[in-house]
C-alpha cells in the first residue's frame, strides 16, 4: 500500500501538477527548500573560491608564468561552463527529488515509508552528490594542469580533492540542520527504525578530518610539490603554507562549531526536559528531529516520560480508590506487601440510625449525604497521620500507625475522633450523628485476598474490639468511646486520667474477657 502511494503520478512527477495545486505549498516545505538552495550556494561558492584562490596563489611555484596564466584561463572557462550548464541541471534534479520526497507535506498527510526514508536520507544523498561533483571537478582541473606537467596535475588534483572533502563535510552538517524541521515531522516523535546519519563518534571524527587531517595533508602535498619543483622558492612556499593554515583555522572552527552544536543543542533540550520531569512535570517531551542514535535517545526519553506520566496517572487514580499512603506503600514495594505485626490504634466510625434515615430518601440523596459526611471526616483522619482502611456502607475503619509508623498513634487517633464529633455536629446540626470507637493493640498489616484480588488491610482481635466499642456508643449515648488499651498509650494533655469517665458494666458482643471502656470528658 505504501508503494502504491509513493508511485502515483502526482508524487512521481510533481512538476506536472496543475498550477493551482502547485501553489498550495506547505510553508515549512517552501522555507526549507529556500534554505537548502541558499546553503548550497554559500557552501559551494566558499569552497570553490578558497580552492581557486589557493590554486592561483600556489600554482606559480610549480609552473612558469605562462603556464600559470593558461591554467587560470582554462580553470575560469571550466568554472563558467559548469555554472552555466551543471548548476541548472543539479538544481532541477534537486527540485524534483525534493518535491518527490516531500509530497506528503504538500498534500498535508503522513509520509509513506518510502517518503520517510527519502526525507531522512536527504543529508546522506546530498553528500553523495557533493562528493561526485567535487570528484569530477578535481579530475577536470587535474587534466587542465596535466597539459603542462605531471607534478602540477597531481598537486592540482590533491588541492581540489582536499577542498571537496572539506566542503562536502560542511555541506552534510548544513543539510542536516536545514532538514531538521522536516525530519521532525517525518519521524513524528517515533524512534527511527535504523540510522540514517553518522553517529556522534563519526560526526566528531568528521569534524577532526576537516579541521586537522585535511590541512595536514595539504601541507604534505605542498611539500611534495615544492620538492619536485626545479625552482624552489622558500618565501612563496612559506606564504602558501600560512594561507593553508589560515583557511584550516576558519573552516575547521566552523565545522567543529556546527558539529558540536548539532549534538549539544539536543543534549541541552534533553537536560531541560529532564529537569522538568525531576520537578514533577511528566508532560515534558523533546522534539525528535534526528535520524541517528540521537533521535533514538530523544524518542527513548519521550517514551520514558510518557511511562512516568502513565504511572503517575495510575497512582492518582489508585489513590482515589485506595488511601494515598497505602497506594504509595503498595507501589513502593518490590515484591508485594508482606504481613507485618505492628501496634496501631483503630477507629471505627458509624452513622447512628442510618437505616431509618435512608429509607425515606432516594438512593442518590443517600449517596450525597454520605459523601458530605466523608468529605468532612476523612481529611481529619489524614491530617492526624491515619489512613482509611475501608468504607463499610455508612461507616469506615481508620488506622493510625500503619503503614506510616507513628509512636503517638493513640494521641493522633483520639485527637481526630474528637474533631470528627465536632465536625459532624457542625455539618448536620443534629440531623445526623455518628459513633466513634477507638482501640489499640497489635495487628497484622499486609495483603489480604487471593485469586489475583488483594487488599491491604489490618487483621487482629484489636480490630474486632474497636468495632464493638463503636457499637457500645449506642448504649451509653457517648459520641466517642475508647478502651483502656488506648487510654494507657496516651501522652501529653490526653494522658490526664481525670479527662475520662469509665463506662462500667458494658459487655462487648462476642467477647468473653471484660474490656474497660472510657468516654472522654467534653465541655
- Written as nine digits, the cell of 26 is 506547505
Is 247 in contact with 281 (CB distance < 8 Å)?
no
CA distance linking residue 183 with residue 290, whole number of Å = 7
Round to the nearest angstrom and report the end-to-end CA distance of the chain: 82
Coil, helix or strand at residue 381: helix
Cell 607534478 sits on residue: 151
Residue 495 is given by DSSP the state: G
* 397 strand-pairing partners: 348, 390
Split at pLDDT 50, 70, 90, the class of 8 is very low
- In angstroms and rounded to an integer, the radius of gyration of the C-alpha atoms of the chain is 41
Which residue segments constitute the domains of the chain, with CATH numbers given?
A: 2-278 (no CATH), 336-520 (3.30.70.1230)
What is the residue-wise DSSP string for 442-466? EEEEEEEEETTEEEEEEESHHHHHH
**pLDDT at position 61, please?**
59
d(CA 416, CA 406): 14
**Mean pLDDT across the stretch 70-94?**
74
Phi, psi at residue 279, to the nearest 5°? -85, 0
* Residue 298 cell numbers, joined: 530523544
- Sequence-distant (6+) residues with CB within 8 A of 183 are 119, 120, 289, 290, 291
Between CA 427 and CA 433 the distance in angstroms is 10
Q: What is the pLDDT of residue 294?
A: 79
Please name which of 220, 234, 294 lies closest in space to residue 260, comparing C-alpha atoms. Answer: 294
Residue 231 in this model has a pLDDT that exceeds 60: no
Whether the upstream peptide bond of residue 403 has omega within 30° of 0, thus cis, is: yes
Phi/psi at 458 (5° precision): -120, 135
Whether the CB-CB separation of 343 and 442 falls below 8 Å is answered with: yes
Note the pLDDT of residue 424: 92
Q: Mind listing the pLDDT tens digit for each residue in 181-203?
A: 888 888 877 766 666 666 677 77
- Of residues 205 and 451, the one with the higher pLDDT is 205
pLDDT at residue 334 greater than cutoff 60: no
67-87: burial string, b at 16+ Cβ within 10 Å, e else: bbebbbebbeeebeebeeeee
Average pLDDT, the chain: 77
**What pLDDT was estimated at residue 466?**
93
Residue 213 has pLDDT above 90, yes or no: no
Parallel/antiparallel/unpaired status of strands 434-450 and 480-483: parallel
Length of the chain: 523
| pLDDT recorded at residue 429 | 83
* Cβ-contact 457, 390 below 8 angstroms: yes
**pTM of the entire predicted model:** 0.52
Tell me what pLDDT residue 402 has. 80
Range of lowest pLDDT (21-30, 308-317, 380-389):
21-30
Amino acid at each position: 500500500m505504501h508503494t502504491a502511494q509513493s508511485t502515483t503520478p502526482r508524487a512521481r512527477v510533481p512538476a506536472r501538477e496543475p498550477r493551482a495545486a502547485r501553489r498550495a505549498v506547505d510553508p515549512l516545505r517552501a522555507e526549507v527548500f529556500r534554505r537548502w538552495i541558499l546553503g548550497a550556494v554559500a557552501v559551494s561558492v566558499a569552497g570553490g573560491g578558497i580552492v581557486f584562490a589557493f590554486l592561483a596563489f600556489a600554482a606559480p611555484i610549480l609552473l612558469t608564468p605562462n603556464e600559470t596564466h593558461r591554467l587560470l584561463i582554462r580553470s575560469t572557462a571550466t568554472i563558467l561552463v559548469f555554472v552555466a550548464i551543471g548548476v541548472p541541471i543539479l538544481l532541477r534534479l534537486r527540485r524534483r527529488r525534493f518535491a518527490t520526497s516531500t509530497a506528503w507535506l504538500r498534500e498535508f498527510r503522513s509520509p509513506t515509508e518510502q517518503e520517510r526514508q527519502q526525507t531522512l536520507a536527504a543529508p546522506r544523498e546530498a553528500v553523495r552528490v557533493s562528493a561526485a561533483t567535487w570528484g569530477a571537478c578535481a579530475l577536470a582541473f587535474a587534466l587542465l594542469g596535466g597539459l603542462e606537467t605531471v607534478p602540477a596535475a597531481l598537486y592540482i588534483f590533491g588541492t581540489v580533492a582536499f577542498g571537496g572533502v572539506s566542503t562536502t563535510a560542511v555541506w552534510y552538517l548544513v543539510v542536516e540542520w536545514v532538514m531538521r524541521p522536516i525530519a521532525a515531522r517525518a519521524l513524528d516523535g517515533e524512534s527511527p527504525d535504523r540510522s540514517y546519519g553518522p553517529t556522534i563518534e563519526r560526526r566528531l571524527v568528521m569534524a577532526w578530518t576537516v579541521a586537522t587531517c585535511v590541512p595536514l595533508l595539504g601541507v604534505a602535498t605542498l611539500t611534495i610539490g615544492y620538492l619536485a619543483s626545479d625552482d624552489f622558492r622558500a618565501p612563496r612556499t612559506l606564504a602558501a603554507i600560512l594561507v593553508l593554515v589560515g583557511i584550516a583555522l576558519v573552516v575547521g572552527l566552523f565545522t567543529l562549531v556546527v558539529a558540536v552544536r548539532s549534538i549539544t543543542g539536543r543534549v541541552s533540550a534533553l537536560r531541560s526536559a529532564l529537569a522538568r520531569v525531576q520537578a514533577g512535570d511528566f508532560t515534558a517531551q523533546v522534539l525528535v528531529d534526528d535520524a541517528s542514535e540521537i533521535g533514538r535517545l530523544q524518542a527513548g526519553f519521550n517514551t520514558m516520560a510518557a511511562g512516568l506520566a502513565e504511572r503517575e496517572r495510575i497512582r492518582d487514580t489508585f489513590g482515589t480508590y485506595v488511601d494515598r499512603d497505602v497506594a504509595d506503600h503498595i507501589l513502593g514495594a518490590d515484591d508485594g506487601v508482606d504481613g507485618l505485626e505492628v501496634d496501631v490504634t483503630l477507629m471505627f466510625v458509624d452513622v447512628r440510625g442510618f437505616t431509618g434515615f435512608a429509607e425515606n430518601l432516594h438512593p442518590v440523596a443517600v449517596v450525597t449525604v454520605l459523601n458530605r459526611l466523608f468529605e468532612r471526616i476523612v481529611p481529619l483522619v489524614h491530617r492526624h497521620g491515619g489512613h482509611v482502611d475501608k468504607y463499610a456502607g455508612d461507616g469506615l475503619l481508620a488506622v493510625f500507625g500503619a503503614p506510616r509508623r507513628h509512636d503517638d498513634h493513640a494521641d493522633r487517633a483520639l485527637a481526630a475522633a474528637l474533631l470528627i464529633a465536632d465536625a459532624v455536629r457542625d455539618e448536620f446540626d443534629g440531623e445526623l450523628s455518628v459513633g466513634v470507637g477507638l482501640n489499640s493493640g497489635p495487628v497484622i498489616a499486609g495483603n489480604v485476598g487471593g485469586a489475583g484480588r488483594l487488599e491491604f488491610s489490618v487483621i487482629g482481635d484489636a480490630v474486632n474490639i474497636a468495632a464493638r466499642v463503636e457499637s457500645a456508643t449506642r448504649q451509653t449515648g457517648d459520641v466517642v468511646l475508647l478502651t483502656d488499651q488506648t487510654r494507657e498509650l496516651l501522652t501529653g494533655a490526653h494522658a490526664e486520667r481525670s479527662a475520662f469517665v469509665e463506662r462500667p458494666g458494658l459487655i462487648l458482643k462476642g467477647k468473653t474477657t471484660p474490656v474497660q471502656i472510657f468516654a472522654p470528658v467534653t465541655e
